[in-house]
Amino acid sequence: MRYIGKPVKRIIEDPPLITGKAQFVYDIQLPGILYAYFVRSQYPHAKIKSISCPEGCYTAKDLPFPVMGFAKDEIVYEGQPLAVVVAEDEYTARDLAEKVEVEYEPLPHILDPWKAMEENAPRARSDLPTNIGAKDTVIAGDVDSAFKRAYKIIKGELVNQRVIPSAMEPRGVTAYYDGRRVTIWSSTQVPYDIKKTLFKYLAPLGVYDVRVIQPFVGGAFGSKGFVYPEEV
């Protein structure tokens, strides 16, 4: 109780931040570091007919294992990564990414979630029989009796606008492999989830030592609470 009403000296995170000594992902500089820039789809749904890549460009077909969310043959959302360009600096990587040529075959798509659940709606993914990802029924208490006793019953449909967190620091990853251990620095809220996911992909390749470091994170608001394809 001696702390109530008294100022508390913060000794954990404030000094590095106010003195400029805090390290974020972009501050992690390693010898011989390379920069990756992702090429993303301009279509919400399409088949990838061909990808013309310059030197230093890689597609899903070049990877030793399929990476979740990295498009190989079919685009299933606008902005989906379909190629990655690697260069000695970020500006060269961006310039090379502009030289990547993708030939698409646009496919039907739908934006209304209610219409997307209809039986004949265009499929978000061609390999799925329906757009409904999960269905669950929750039963709690005597619902019918509660409605009968209710003074008034109001029916309505509530639609929330699109919400997206906008942190000062975007998502970013730095990775290093020393021949035995993979070390990842990620601007994330879930370092242990990233470690488990990376281990699942890397263990079949003989890499069993994975370390994930969470440096200072420049904002997240929930948007960095997932494992993204770029982190794999």
Predicted pLDDT at 203? 86
Pick from 9-13, 44-48, 92-96: least confident: 9-13
Domain-embedded: residue 18: no
Edge-to-edge strand list for the sheet holding 101-106: 74-75, 46-52, 101-106
State how many domains the chain has: 2
Domain-embedded: residue 112: yes
Same domain as 124, residue 37: yes
Domain-embedded: residue 145: no
Q: What CATH number corresponds to the domain at position 123? A: 3.90.1170.50
Domain-embedded: residue 59: yes
Among candidate residues 165, 223, 232, 217, the one with its CA nearest the CA of residue 187: 217
Same domain as 121, residue 182: no
CA atoms of 172 and 119, how far apart (whole Å): 39
Q: Residue 31 carries which DSSP code?
A: T
Q: What CATH number corresponds to the domain at position 179? A: 3.30.365.10
Question: By residue range, what is the domain housing residue 183?
Answer: 171-232
Q: Rg of the Cα trace of the chain? A: 23
Torsions phi, psi for 74 (to 5 deg)? -135, 135
pLDDT category of residue 10 using cuts at 50, 70 and 90: low
Same domain as 62, residue 115: yes
The percent of residues above 70 in pLDDT, for the chain, comes to: 99
How do 181-186 and 209-213 pair as beta strands? parallel
CA atoms of 107 and 127, how far apart (whole Å): 13
Name the pTM for this structure: 0.79
